[in-house]
Each structure stands twice: as structure tokens, then as C-alpha cells.
Structure 1
Amino acid sequence: MSMEAGRQALRQDTLGRTLFVIDIENMIGTSAQITAPQVGKVQVRINAAVNSVTGDHTVIASNKSNAAAVCFTWSGPVCRKICSGKDGADQALLEELRDPVWIAARYDHVVIASGDHAFANAVAAIKSAGCPVTVIAPDVGLSKRMRLAAGPDLVRLGSPIPTNVITPFRTVKEVA
């Protein structure tokens, strides 16, 4: 059996399966202490933006100080990565995305919930391998590189501030 035939057989077994990669601290907007209600709110907003179904695979990462809020709040089957150090959670998630061909053979869709520029190359590589990628951008902190890599497959969650509230502060921030 050729490699392509094997890949097609594997794709038929995983038809409709989505890989969700969640950078929870980026989605909340801080790597400082996060709370269970913040995690719950992000999960509801992500699920409203892109539906998750039985059989999907979710990977979520955070630093050690946020482990309890993430582990005890995020509901459903999920692989939790707890890492320390600067960008430890990002590195753990990037490790999950290290082989775009493997991902394209096993998933029909990838959803990356982060606006961090560190994921831009992974988005482009997975798309090049033939797997559609949707980027869910946080309220604050969508990098230009990530916006370009996502292209039309970008979902902006929008600001949690009601539209009838006048504020002198920006609610959307562009970061490099």
C-alpha cells in the first residue's frame, strides 16, 4: 500500500475530527494568576465560535501557577499541559503541532485559539500540508504574523465590553 493510500485510509477513520489547541493565557490576556470563571468564560466563547463534537482532540496549556484553574474548570476530554518558564506553555503546544503532515493525516480541521506570533509558522505549515486551520483570536493580543497566517480563517471573539459603553481605552491591541 502506498503512503498516500495509507494516508487516505487513515483520513477515512478520522473523518470529521478536529484538533483544538488552546493557549489559555493568551486567550484570557494574561499569564498572571487566572481564575476558574475566566477559564470557563473562554471555553464557552470558543465553543460558541467553533463547535466541538465527540471525538475531537483538545490540548490546552498553561503555566504552573494557573494549573488548578485550567485543570478543574475546562470541561470535557482534554490533554492538559502544565509548563514553567518563559513561553513554556507555548512551547508545549508547539510540540503538539511539530509535524504538520502527521496532523493533516489524522485531522480534518485544526483550531488554534491564540493570537501569539509563535503559532504563525505552525498555522502556515499545517495549511500547506492540506489541513484547514481556523485561528480564534483573543480580545486583545492578535499579532500581525498570526493575522496574516490565518488569512480568511480568522475568528475574532470581539470585546466583552458592551457596545453601549463609552470607554477612552482601546479594546483591541495589535502586537508584533
Structure 2
Amino acid sequence: MDIENMVGNSAPTCSEVTQAERRIHAAVPPCAGDHTVVAASHHNALAMIYGWTGTAQRKMRSGIDGADLALLEAVTDISWIAERYRRVVVASGDHAFTFAVASLRTAGVEVIVIRPDVGLSSALRRAAGPNVVALGSRIPSNVINLFTHTKDAA
């Protein structure tokens, strides 16, 4: 999950990250046993750490495309992933994931790309094939979510 890409700005707040998480889960509901990886620039580490309420490995990296590079580290061994996972969900619109998506599909892994509201790379769209889904709809402000996740302060 490229959280900055999914939020749609380079300086997301905790509440924007939480909203993006809900929208991602609305687009592709999580399954028990999922291994989730969320990444952001080190500048946005606190928003990612405290805004993403679910269980996830959180990665941060500095520099141009830092979050993309941190996420790509998680998918470097395509054969290892193909042996262990039936499905991989990529939540980003960045072209940086094109090779990983194509390689995973070639290895027989179902790949779903959740596209952000704005900014889906045409190369990523082609690599994903028919498995591109829109970011889930926003939860209206007048709806009370009875199943919110909270994070205990340590």
C-alpha cells in the first residue's frame, strides 16, 4: 500500500491515512492471514504509523519514490511469493510496480491493483490486465462506523 499515492497528496494526515485504509478495504476486503505492507516517506512516518489502524508491516524510506522502493523490496523474490501467496494486492497507481505486477502474474499469482482516485499509470494498468479496481467509495460523514480500529498508545 503506497499510502501517499492512495491518499492523493505528499503530506497525508493521520485521518486521511485512516480514511484511505477504509477505502482500500472497501475496494478489496482483507482476508484472515493477509500480510499487509504499508509504506511512506520518512516525512510521513507518523501519519502512516498512527493513521493505519490495522495490522501491517510499516516501511518508510527517504528520497524520490522512497515509498515505492520500500514496497518493491517486499516483492523482490517473485518465486518465493508465488510459492506462498495465491493473491497479491497492490494499492498504487505508480508505474514503478509494473514489472513486479507482470512478473507475479506470469508466476501464476492473482494480482489485483487498486487504483487511486487520480493517477493510474497506463503501463501498470496493462500489466494488471482485468484486475484493476477503483479505490472504494468514501464513507459519508453522517455514517457512524461501529467497527473502528483503535491503536493503544504505548
TM superposition score normalised by structure 2: 0.86
Structure 2 partner of 1:140: 118
Q: Verify the 8 A CA contact 2:13 2:51 in the aligned structure 1.
A: no
Q: Which runs of 4+ in 1 moved over 4 A?
A: none
Corresponding residue for residue 27 of structure 2: 49
Tell me the C-alpha RMSD between the 2 structures: 1.5
Q: Does 1:121 align with 2:99?
A: yes
Residue identity opposite 1:63 in structure 2:
S
Aligned to 2:2: 23
CA drift at 1:159: 7.7
Asked if 2 retains the 8 angstrom alpha-carbon contact of 1:27 and 1:42, the reply is yes
TM-score, scaled relative to structure 1: 0.75
| Amino acid aligned to 1:25 | E
Asked whether the equivalents of residues 139 and 159 of structure 1 are also in contact (C-alpha less than 8 Å), the reply is no
Structure 2: runs of 5+ lacking an equivalent: 139-154
Structure 1 residue runs of 5 or longer lacking an equivalent are 1-21, 161-176
Provide the residue aligned with 1:58 in structure 2. 36
1:136, distance to aligned residue in structure 2 (A) = 0.2
Matched, 1:40 2:18: yes
Tell me the SS of whatever aligns to 2:103. helix
> Which of the two has greater strand per residue?
1
1:106 to 78, 84, 87: 84
Shift of 1:73: 1.5
The structure 2 residue matched to 1:130, chosen from 95, 103, 108, is 108
**Is the 8 Å Cα contact of residues 14 and 48 (structure 2) preserved in structure 1?**
yes
Question: How many residues matched?
Answer: 139
Identity among equivalent positions (%) equals 54
Contact 1:138 1:158 survives alignment (8 Å): no
